[in-house]
Structure 1
């Protein structure tokens, strides 16, 4: 049990504050924050501690536009000052789970710094291989996710409503009272 309840409350607050941002200001993210976020990504749990990931950061606008144009639902990547790319070793059994844990760590760390973000799927998408090749990533890896990140434009932003906890949880067995 965490002895310092302030730390626990802070963690919960950060997690609950996280939401998807798809419109960004062009304010750059400082390199020291990017490195801290990547350090959080590598701290994610992985099966047998294999750590089957590599992480890319794409700040070049032209390259981000190329990535955005390849995706089906990530056009906003072109607008974000940074795009994180999470790749995992193809031959690892739990590569998707491990890299998704790292992706979530990136999202939470960005939120902790007050930086907006949005996860774009990569695993199994038709654009995964073209993006891997565009970024020059060895064939040993496959694209798991992309994360657009930057300072949020707040005009017209509406926070998505989440389901009630009582509607999505059960105790012991589903349907039991």
Structure 2
């Protein structure tokens, strides 16, 4: 049963079970999982169907270390078996919203396969341009997110706010 009533489906289970993971086993990720996750990301909703994204995958250990050295709060990228990079086309009006939707679908697809992930910010970060150059991505794209992934070695679940703390109905502060 769902906490708000009814039967829970697989999609809801995947969403509720997803947590940020920063420690990964050294197991390689199968190509079919990588391709499926990328396919799910590309199917994300997008304003005016622009699809202003470019998705990269990095598995080379030296490149993962180089990215980890650039991303000051994400040194754990160096130990991930794979890192996905989501870039948005700068001239697309809603590239940030579109690429965030794609990033979320990527996270959920990887969760469905049993992989742990952690959304690492790219947008507005000092290292965004350096990561773009490192990966040889064209200048008309900007880094939106990095998603290291792997089979979880350790999962630390942080408590989330309860539904009543973060919702309102009709107008904020008014009782029904």
Cα displacement (A) at 1:73: 1.1
Which of 8-17 and 67-76 deviates more? 8-17
Matched, 1:117 2:120: no
The corresponding residue for 2:10 is 10
Matched, 1:60 2:60: yes
Runs of 4+ in 1 over 3 A off after TM superposition: none
Q: Structure 2: any 5+ residue segments left out of the alignment? A: 1-5
Cα displacement (A) at 1:112: 0.1
The corresponding residue for 2:147 is 147
Alignment of structure 1 residues 69-84 onto 2, 5 Å? 69-84=69-84
Matched, 1:176 2:152: no
Aligned length: 170
Cα displacement (A) at 1:158: 2.7
- For 2:61 and 2:105, the matched residues in 1 are separated by 24
User: Is the partner of 1:153 in helix, strand or coil?
Assistant: strand
The corresponding residue for 1:165 is 163
Cα displacement (A) at 1:72: 1.7
Cα displacement (A) at 1:74: 1.0
Deviations 1:77-128 (A, max 9, x none): 0010000000010011100000000000010000000000000000010000
8 A Cα contact 2:117 2:150, kept in partner: yes
The corresponding residue for 1:22 is 22
- For 2:57 and 2:147, the matched residues in 1 are separated by 9
Q: Structure 1: any 5+ residue segments left out of the alignment? A: none
User: Is the partner of 1:123 in helix, strand or coil?
Assistant: coil
Over aligned residues, Cα RMSD in angstroms? 1.2
TM-score, normalised to structure 2's length?
A: 0.94
Cα displacement (A) at 1:9: 1.0
The corresponding residue for 2:34 is 34
- For 2:33 and 2:70, the matched residues in 1 are separated by 27
The corresponding residue for 2:103 is 103
